[in-house]
Structure 1
Amino acid sequence: MTKQIEWEGISLVLLAEKVLYIPAYHTVVLSDWHLGKLGHFRQEGFFVPPMQLQEEFDRLTRILQRLQVQQVVFLGDLFHSTWNREWDEFLMYLQQFKEMAFILTKGNHDILSEAVLHQAPLQVVDYLALGDRIILSHEPWPDIPAHILNIVGHLHPGIQIQGRGRQVFRLPCFVLQDNVFILPAFGRWTGLQIQKDRGASRLFAIVGNGVIAMF
């Protein structure tokens, strides 16, 4: 299930897979995948299981197959650390989508060398503009004009819900605060930053296979 919202006439489709789709631009947006994170920990001697990369790739493939997609934008922190074999497997995965453009707006964890990045079928930028009313970036821009929607990642937003008794549920969520729209982390090993001071924010929690407006 998806949740469609409007921001100043711009349609945004929120997917339960923690992905945003912008129909007007045939664009899929995801953030903070942190590929290579478990491989990095294993290289450092930590006892963690290997990342099931094919399962990760299949998650994205299912999205790309069911939507009309011309480009995919990774909002930073695509790869967690320096090179390991998981980067090469990611590049092989991208080869099957030659008809699509892949764009990375660099994040604080995107520390692969320029030489390595330039070998990838990726356009690497600091930010990406869609028309004159949408800016995509890893972190929020300071003092962005109110008529521009800034779509960002980085924060790994989540919401905590108190259930019956002492049950507590922590769920990833999308956050719309004024003209800043924050995506949940696409990666599975990222943790959550619980949104406590909600103010005038609108929160959309991912509950199972659906997206539900909470506030």
Structure 2
Amino acid sequence: MNQGDNGGPRDAAALALAGERVLLLPQKAVYWPRLEMLVIADIHFGKAAAFRSFGIPVPHGTTNENLDGLDTLIDATGATHVLFLGDFLHARASHAAATQAAMLAWRRRRCDLVLTLVRGNHDKHAGDPAEALGIDLVDEPYTVGPFSFCHHPDIDAPGYVLAGHVHPAYVLATRSDALRLPCFVVGPARMILPSFGSFTGGYTVKPAPGERIFVTSGEAVHSVR
């Protein structure tokens, strides 16, 4: 991730929201430079383990892939605080020993990092993360400055809402081909972030009046509407 002249990554999209400068990152996250805060939606730790517990053959290694992705962004941005917009854990099976061991090993390496989880619908079913992870647990809306951090995008909140839950994706189409990419949906009163997790899928969205779409290829963020 290269640094641009404005102090942010060159491959990010800088926006002014609610009087604050934020960066939309190609790795499907938002960075708030003033508070050195990285905002992540729908990481769904342990989803693959949950599927395997039902006998469904899905890939191993998604937990480490997600943790490696977090490391990349923390190192690139200098974030001191990571805020998760819900669905940190996917299900009760996410408490599997191997999943928990990987997360605890990561936390020991990142012991100085502040972690906050705004509980989402999957978190309520999965149960809270292990206390040893040292995560501050809050309910939505969680308001800091002009922003209200939520899991659900349609919740009544006092500030500009940053939310997840939807896993938004957008289809770029030509006459002969189409490409479906994760996207940020940016409106006058809220932003919906794409799902950060490596095994989470996406929901195709159409922007409402006044909303803008920023797609990410994984390498750069582009405004398409």
TM-score (norm 1): 0.91
Change (3 A) 1:207 1:143: same
Kept after mapping to 2: 8 A contact 1:39/1:51: no
Counterpart of 2:56 in 1: which secondary structure?
coil
Q: Note the alpha carbon deviations across 1:140-197, whole angstroms, 9 max, x for none.
A: 253434xx211111110110111341x1111000011221111000012222111125
Partner of 1:109: helix, strand, or coil? helix
Distance in 1, Cα, partners of 2:90 & 2:40 = 15
Q: 2:127 aligns with which of 87, 98, 113?
A: 113
Match status 1:188 vs 2:198: yes
Match for residue 6 of structure 1 among 16, 37, 60:
16
Task: Please show how residues 68-79 of structure 1 align to structure 2 within 5 Å.
Answer: 68-79=78-89
Aligned to 1:151, the other structure's residue is in SS state: strand
1:151 paired to 2:178: no
**C-alpha distance in 2, partners of 1:117/1:186?**
21
**Aligned residue number for residue 70 of structure 2:** 60
1:142 matched residue in structure 2: 155
Deviating more after overlay: 36-45 vs 86-95? 86-95
Report matched runs for 1:1-215 at 5 Å. 1-82=11-92, 83-85=95-97, 86-110=99-123, 111-114=125-128, 117-127=130-140, 128-131=142-145, 133-145=146-158, 148-165=159-176, 167-215=177-225
Unaligned 5+ segments in structure 1 are: none
Instruction: Measure how far apart 1:3 and its partner are.
Output: 0.5
Matched AA of 2:151: H
Percent identity, aligned pairs only, is 29
Q: Which moved further from structure 2: 120-129 or 75-84?
A: 120-129
Residue 24 of structure 1 aligns to a residue whose secondary structure is helix
Aligned residues: 210
TM-score, normalised to structure 2, is 0.87
Alpha-carbon distance between aligned partners in 1 of 2:205 and 2:216, rounded to the nearest angstrom: 14
* Aligned-partner Cα distance in 1 for 2:208–2:216: 17
User: What 5-or-longer segments of structure 2 have no aligned partner?
Assistant: 1-10
AA matched with 1:129: T
Query: Take 1:154 and 1:11, find their aligned partners in 2: how far apart are those partners?
Result: 23
Root mean square deviation of aligned Cα:
1.7
Amino acid at match of 1:32: D
Shift of 1:94: 1.3
Q: Is the 8 A contact 2:104 2:132 kept in 1?
A: no
| Pairwise CA distance, 1:65 | 0.8
